[in-house]
Amino acid sequence: DIQMTQSPSSLSASVGDRVTITCRASQGIRNGLGWYQQKPGKAPKRLIYVASILQSGVPSRFSGSGSDTEFTLTISSLQPEDFATYYCLQHNSYPFTFGQGTKLEIK
Amino acid sequence: EVQLVESGGGLVQPGRSLRLSCTASGFTFGDYGMNWFRQAPGKGLEWVGFISIKSYGGTTEYVASVKGRFTISRDDSKSIAYLQMNSLKIEDTGVYYCTRVVTYSGYDSSDYWGQGTLVTVSS
């Protein structure tokens, strides 16, 4: 199975900050990587798929990049509603696997 | 509007069975594969399994920890996907989500998610 290593596991930041979260795959997954946002008690919400395609309706301050084994999610200017937990998910091959998650907290 | 509603969760003893349902609306159910995911209390997300559309044989895939115990099926006439869970273990406890799968450039990706249903395995 492909292991996804996500970092950092937690992050404190302020409104307006630029934030980057990284995921590394244990083997190449081409562009098969998605990013999901989850708020407490809610279902995950897809932000990015196929590494860099922005989900319709998601603000343009979110962006994804990378390919093969290294991927990043960038939030260009944090907004209050962005404080949540973020997960990467490799969707290149089954079994799909997640990173451990990044909890983004208000500084 | 696309909607996915899971049901069937609850408290069950170890070794027993439970069947979850995912009722879909707002799209042509038979045209989409479906994934199941789960999340143990306070933990991260885990992919559980997948079922393809009928024209691709309705093939299924499972995470190793549930293979041989869980079965995913679908009834396109009712727009429902099922997750039959047998020989349940305490570590199967969590919120179970169904999702719609969209294929883009050869990649399967979950776009819409249900609200989840809680399964608690305990004696």
CA distance A46 to B110: 8
Q: How far is B113 from chain A (nearest CA, A)?
A: 7
B42 touches chain A (CB under 8 A): no
Amino acid of residue B121: V
pLDDT band with cut points at 50, 70 and 90 for residue A107: confident
pLDDT tens string A2-58: 999 999 999 999 999 999 999 999 999 999 999 999 999 999 999 999 999 999 999
CA distance B45 to A27: 20
A49 touches chain B (CB under 8 A): yes
Location of structure tokens 């590394």: A24
Please state, rounded to an integer, the average pLDDT across all residues of chain B.
Answer: 97
Residues of B in contact with A94 (CB under 8 A): 50, 61
B63 touches chain A (CB under 8 A): yes
Q: Between A32, A43, A95, which is nearest B47 by CB?
A: A95
- The whole-number pLDDT of residue B14 equals 98
> What's the average model confidence in pLDDT over B103-123?
95
Q: Which of A63, A51, A53, A54 is nearest to A90 (CA)?
A: A51
Query: Token pair for residue B10?
Result: 């609850």
With contact defined as beta carbons under 8 Å apart, do B4 and B113 qualify?
Answer: yes
Q: What torsion do the CA atoms of A49, B41, A4, A54 make, to the nearest 10 degrees?
A: 10
pLDDT tens string B50-88: 999 999 999 999 999 999 999 999 999 999 999 999 999
B27 touches chain A (CB under 8 A): no
> What's the average model confidence in pLDDT over A91-103?
97
Amino acid of residue A74: T
With contact defined as beta carbons under 8 Å apart, do A84 and A104 qualify?
Answer: yes
Q: How far is A36 from chain B (nearest CA, A)?
A: 10
Q: Between A46, A92, A99, which is nearest B110 by CB?
A: A46
> What's the average model confidence in pLDDT over A74-82?
96
The number of beta carbons lying within 10 Å of the beta carbon of residue A32 is 24
- Preceding omega of B14 cis (within 30 degrees of 0): no
Residues of A in contact with B107 (CB under 8 A): 31-32, 49-50, 91-92
> What's the average model confidence in pLDDT over A68-77?
97
